A and B are shown apart, each in its own frame.
Chain A
Amino acid sequence: MDELLVGLAAVLTFLFGWNNSSFLIGNLRGAGSLSFAAAIILSVLGLLVGALLEGSKMAATLAGSLALSTTYSVLLAVMIVSISLAFVLTLLDLPVSFSMIMVGAFLGATYAAGIPINLGRSSEVIGFWFLAPLATALITFGIYESTTSFASRFGILAVDSMNRAGAVVSGLAVSYTLGANNLGLFYAATGILAASAPVDYTVVLVLIIAGTVGIVALGRTALGGTMGDKMLTLSPQGVFSAFVASSIVVWVGTQFAFPVSISQCLLGGMLGAAYSRIVSVVNRRLVGDTLSLWVAAPLVAFTSSYLLVSLL
């Protein structure tokens, strides 16, 4: 492992903790299920267990998958571009797809370095990005219909208990899958041999600590998150369904070493839940802006890292 790359990965994980705090702890805090400290502990526990148990499945996501090999300058460009983009988007309070930015940056840098790109694998990854929100929407629809039907048999107090417990379960599921998929991806960019060498648990721990600092230091105000609060209005069961469905899709992506964005899945899931009801409130403009951002961000990352490697 390269110390500079590990340091940059830690910075990226710090931004990841900050940007994703609305998913990691915002839902728990908004639901009122847990205190701030308990929400932090639960989300960090999920990230840690996810990264330790399944993070290694993502170690070969970049080098050894999208390209047969990589170089130090390629990984350095990936980190610099990813951190810059993530920082700007986070400051603008927009959900950042770290996976898409990193993959875009890696492909741009690899292309500039003259390393052959595995087009078949790249197509699979990009194809999964389109499939993931659709699959999440469908799964959410199924979970939502089941949970609302189930909940309708209970009284207000039982439903309230279920909703608060559901927020804890779904929060844990999201942090686990994010730990496995995204932290695994960050780990993959910490060295040329990250894909082939045994897992360095010290690096994993550094990343977890950096992510925790991001959540603790800057996630305190995260009570709902961009999607839940601004894009659409959902019932507690709708949010639960979208979170669980997103976790399932991200977990499936992890099994095939597909880097995938939880915010991308959540948007699909929340729209799936919103449109399963006759009455729904959807901020179409914000949805459009976010979708545009998801197309633009990897392209900007690709171009930036291409130019950076060319200049270096």
Chain B
Amino acid sequence: MVDLRFLSINRRERAIFDGVLRLLDTVTRTVDSFDASVSAFARGDAKSAEVVEKVFDGETEADAIHRELGTKIAEGAFFGGVREDMLNLLEKIDDIADSAKDAARFLSQDSRLTAEARSTLGSAAMRSFISALKSSVAALTSLVQALEQGKSEALAKVTAVEDFEEEADAHKDILLKALFSSNESMDPVTVIQLRDFIFVADNIADNAEDASDVILVLIAKGYG
């Protein structure tokens, strides 16, 4: 790795790159809050609504960072041929926070998800599913950090995001199978809501993977 920081010819781009890491940090905290909100709901914690609010706040913060960085790129940062890719990358990262918010909405006070959903939300399969979702975001952060080091370092990490996305998919299948084949009688509305919750939450990993695909395009264009 060769450090050209002393040249200071890429101050604007460095600020944006640092901003992307800041966005990822916010997104990671948002997904962590989402994880905490699922646990709180499963426990029947009275403060679960407060934790859900943290997810909403995190998504709002991510939106603000996304908007700020997008404007800077549109103003002329980065080589013309990759500006669109950088904007796509920001969009996909922001979509992760959006997915966390959409999924957390199922756990908010005005949700129709009732206490009978708690056992599913607190199940080991759900824990594994959410763990895979979080890992996909962590792998994406690691991939973006590697972009600053060079092509081989980035390429070595590009498949990790996809691996976690596939792992999340596998856990999602287990959860859906358990939901539809359960002998326990569950309100059909709860079944539908849990199914939708799982699908929406899975978008966290899907968007992380989409972001890694954009990074692959950047690498193909000689970046990283």
Contacts and interface: CB of A to CB of B under 8 A. Distances in A.
B221 interface: yes
Interface of A: 29-33, 148, 151-161, 163-165, 167, 235-237, 279
Given A237-B222, A279-B220, A160 B78 contact: yes
Contact of B221 (A154, A157, A236): A236
Given A156-B147, A161-B10, A236-B221, 5 more contacts: A29-B80, A153-B151, A159-B223, A160-B82, A235-B222
A157 B82 contact: no
Contacts of A151: 151, 222
B152 A152 contact: yes
A79 to B, nearest CB: 37
Nearest to A32: B80
B4 A154 contact: yes
Contact of A157 (B13, B83, B151): B13
Binding site of A, secondary structure by majority: helix, strand, loop or mixed? helix
Given A148-B222, A235-B221, A153 B150 contact: yes
B2 interface: yes
A238 to B, nearest CB: 8
B9 interface: yes
Nearest to A144: B222
Contact of A160 (B13, B152, B220): B13
Interface in B173-224: 218, 220-224
Interface string B92-106: 000000000000000
Contacts of A153: 1-2, 150-151
Contact of B148 (A29, A31, A155, A164): A155
Given A31-B80, A32-B76, A161-B9, A156 B218 contact: yes
A155 B215 CA distance: 13
Contacts of B223: 156, 159-160
Contacts of B152: 152
Interface string B14-35: 1001000000000000000000
Contacts of A157: 4, 10, 13-14, 17, 148
A236 B79 contact: yes
> Most chain-B CB neighbours within 10 Å: which of A29, A158, A237?
A158
B78 to A, nearest CB: 6
Contacts of A279: 220
A159 B76 contact: no
The 7 closest A-B pairs by CB, nearest first: A152-B151, A32-B80, A155-B148, A156-B147, A158-B4, A235-B222, A163-B79
B113 to A, nearest CB: 42
A106 B186 CA distance: 90
A158 B10 contact: yes
Interface string B64-94: 0000000000001011111100000000000
B222 A161 contact: no
A154 B2 contact: yes
